Amino acid sequence: MSSRWHRPLTEHKRGDAWIMGVLNCTPDSFSDGGSFLDIEAAVHHGFSMWQDGARLIDVGGESTRPGAASVSEEDELKRVIPVIRALSDAGCAVSVDTMKAEVMSQAIAAGAVMVNDVSALRYDPDSLGVVAHSGVDVCLMHMQGDPETMQNSPQYDDVVEEVSAFFEERIEKALAAGIQASSILLDPGIGFGKRLEDNLLLIRSLAEFKKRFHLPVLLGVSRKSFLGLLTGCPVEDREMETAVAGGIGIINGADVLRVHDVRLQHRAMKIASALS
């Protein structure tokens, strides 16, 4: 299966950002857990995000919020495969947010064109081969620890250098497994084992990652806790903060913004793209 569902992100020009819509088919995600466990509701929401301007719908069946426990492969498959198949059949480009190789494989068979793995293909030893064999795109994200423990006193001497070293190692592994460089996106993992100051510095340093790796960068800041630390607003009231952080991310070089409220953030993205 070819992943050429789009003009390659490696050819993106500055200010040409895309929106990825978050579709959590989970009971316990930090923002909208439980809202889209029903398959029909999930498909309806995913298609609505597509109509609102998302270029990719990111379907996940396992929460990766801080403190989240893992779910079984069987439960994850039941949650995401029918949704991915329905959205793909409706003409939407879909990514699967998973760390499990079997979920990746079945999602790709159901129509997914990207694997979005918060473990950067480390969690499951078979995942590198699944992505390489299928030819789909893959987002490699940095995370210190795992979702259950990652916010237990994270520490860095130089977060930008340490994330860069991680990317170097994971890109090397991906290329060695047969994954094409043109299929790789990088995500610095805002909120995944990071302190407030680490998150802010990583967003300021997106251009450095672009310059160093010459690969597209995905930025996920939507409604995250570091925004609440800055303004005191609860998770359900952080769209303004999300828009500002995402807009600055675009100006600093982000190619893709992963967001919950696609309609609102698509509007903000257009302004930031025009100004970058």
Kindly list the catalytic residues. Answer: 224, 258
CA distance 276 to 213: 20
CA distance 245 to 112: 28
CB 175 within 8 A of CB 127: no
Instruction: Give the CA count within 13 Å in the CB-facing half-sphere of 168.
Output: 7
CB 214 within 8 A of CB 182: no
Angle at 172 between CA 69 and CA 170, to 5 degrees: 15
CA distance 235 to 262: 16
CB 175 within 8 A of CB 153: no
Run of H or E including 19: strand 18-24
CA distance 176 to 170: 10
Sheet containing 94-97: which strands, arranged edge to edge?
A: 184-187, 137-141, 114-117, 94-97, 56-60, 18-24, 256-259, 218-219
Instruction: Give the CA count within 13 Å in the CB-facing half-sphere of 193.
Output: 20
